[in-house]
């Protein structure tokens, strides 16, 4: 096989609970992650004389700092096989949005190279390699809703009976994940903003990173509170470290009026995406 195209999916965190800060500087967490149908990047692999990475989105690095490049070189190092491919990355998942785009691209690179080279590395071994690059990369290897624990690298796939439509909203700014975690311990809640767990389809939705992120980025707190108060919405929450805030809808037909109202009253430049399950 000389060419292959794969579609790394976005994710949201239905629940993200931080237990404590670990001695290694990371945070012990427990998070429920849900892949988002219809929101993917595109990665095309074509056999070439040497490895190159190209991207259609300005500002996305194509050097060794990109997780796709790092995943490819780690795969080469651990298998002893040369991965000489021209990789073309088309970005559809917003950057710095709490949707896991870069991590998903890296995971899909591991899976694609495993197939292209005929190496057949077992999934648990790939997950071990992926965890060395980033704590949230292994979860994307399983292509399933998952509970993630530890730093996020301990993945437990599950059959999640989720059917409620989810509407994503992202402002023009992005948020650094390391920054958000670094502010968690000393952050304070904002008066009038709801941080409490809510329940949808017998799942408790909660995000402990809302506290530090909302403290600096007040617009996200206002966006969440606005969505909570709309008749089309069952609940609303920030995904991961932001800056995406999502609304769980009562019906997919409610998406259009809610988008129109939110853009009109809060920010006409908001990026939106509706996922149907």
pLDDT in tens, 124-135: 999 999 999 998
Q: Characterize the bridge pairing of strands 52-55 and 271-275.
A: unpaired
Cα–Cα nearest to 215, from 195, 235, 200: 195
Tokens of 54: 């190209």
Instruction: Name, in order, each residue with C-beta under 8 angstroms of 45's C-beta and a sequence gap of 6 or more.
Output: 3, 4, 5, 6, 85, 86, 87, 112, 113, 116
CATH assignment of 166-275? 3.30.70.890
Using DSSP's 3-state secondary structure scheme, residue 262 falls into helix
Question: Angle of helix 67-79 relative to helix 123-133, nearest 10 degrees?
Answer: 130
Q: What was the pLDDT predicted at 102?
A: 95
Confidence of residue 37 (pLDDT cuts 50, 70, 90): confident
The pLDDT, as a whole number, for residue 270 is 98
Domain assignments of the chain as residue spans, ordered by start: 3-157, 166-275
Q: Which of 11, 170, 208, 224 is catalytic?
A: 11
Q: What is the pTM of this model?
A: 0.94
The span from the CA of 14 to the CA of 31, in Å, is: 7
CATH code that applies to domain 3-157? 3.30.230.10
Confidence of residue 27 (pLDDT cuts 50, 70, 90): confident
What was the pLDDT predicted at 223? Answer: 98
Decide if 136 is catalytic.
yes
Q: How confident is the model at residue 23 (pLDDT cuts 50, 70, 90)?
A: confident
Residues 41, 105, 136, 208: which is the catalytic one?
A: 136
Residue 234 has a pLDDT of 98
Residue 159: is it exposed, middle or buried by C-beta count within 10 angstroms (0-12/13-18/19+)?
exposed
- Cβ–Cβ < 8 Å for 107, 53: no
* DSSP result, 71-129: HHHHHHHHH-----EEEEEE--SPTTSSS-HHHHHHHHHHHHHHHHTT----HHHHHHH
Question: At residue 25, does pLDDT exceed 80?
Answer: no
pLDDT at position 116: 96
Known catalytic membership, residue 11: yes
Q: Enter the tokens of residue 32.
A: 């429920």
Residue whose tokens read 């292509």: 143
Closest Cα to residue 127, out of 30, 185, 34, 144?
144
Q: Which helix (H) or strand (E) holds 180?
A: helix 177-182
């Amino acid at each position: 096989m000389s060419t292959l195209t794969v579609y790394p999916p976005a994710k949201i965190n239905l629940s993200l609970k931080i237990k404590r800060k670990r001695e290694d500087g990371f945070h012990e967490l427990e998070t429920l992650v849900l892949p988002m149908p219809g929101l993917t990047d595109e990665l095309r692999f074509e056999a070439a004389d040497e490895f190159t990475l190209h991207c259609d989105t300005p500002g996305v690095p194509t050097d060794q700092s990109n997780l796709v490049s790092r995943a490819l070189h780690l795969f080469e190092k651990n298998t002893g096989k040369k991965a000489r491919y021209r990789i073309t990355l088309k970005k559809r998942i917003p950057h710095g949005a709490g949707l896991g785009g870069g991590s998903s691209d890296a995971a899909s690179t591991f899976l694609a190279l495993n197939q292209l080279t005929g190496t057949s590395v077992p999934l648990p071994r790939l997950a071990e390699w992926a965890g060395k690059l980033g704590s949230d990369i292994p979860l994307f290897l399983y292509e399933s809703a998952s509970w993630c624990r530890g730093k996020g690298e301990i993945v437990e796939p599950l059959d999640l009976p989720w059917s409620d439509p989810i509407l994503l909203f992202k402002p023009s700014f992005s948020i650094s994940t390391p920054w958000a975690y670094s502010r968690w311990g000393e952050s304070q809640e904002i008066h009038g903003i709801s941080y409490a767990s809510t329940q949808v389809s017998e799942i408790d939705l909660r995000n402990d990173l809302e506290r530090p992120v909302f403290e600096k980025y007040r617009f996200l707190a206002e966006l969440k509170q606005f969505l909570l108060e709309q008749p089309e919405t069952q609940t609303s929450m920030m995904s991961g470290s932001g800056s995406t805030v999502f609304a769980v809808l009562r019906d997919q037909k409610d998406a259009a009026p809610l988008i129109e109202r939110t853009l009109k009253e809060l920010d006409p430049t908001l990026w939106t995406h509706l996922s149907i399950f």
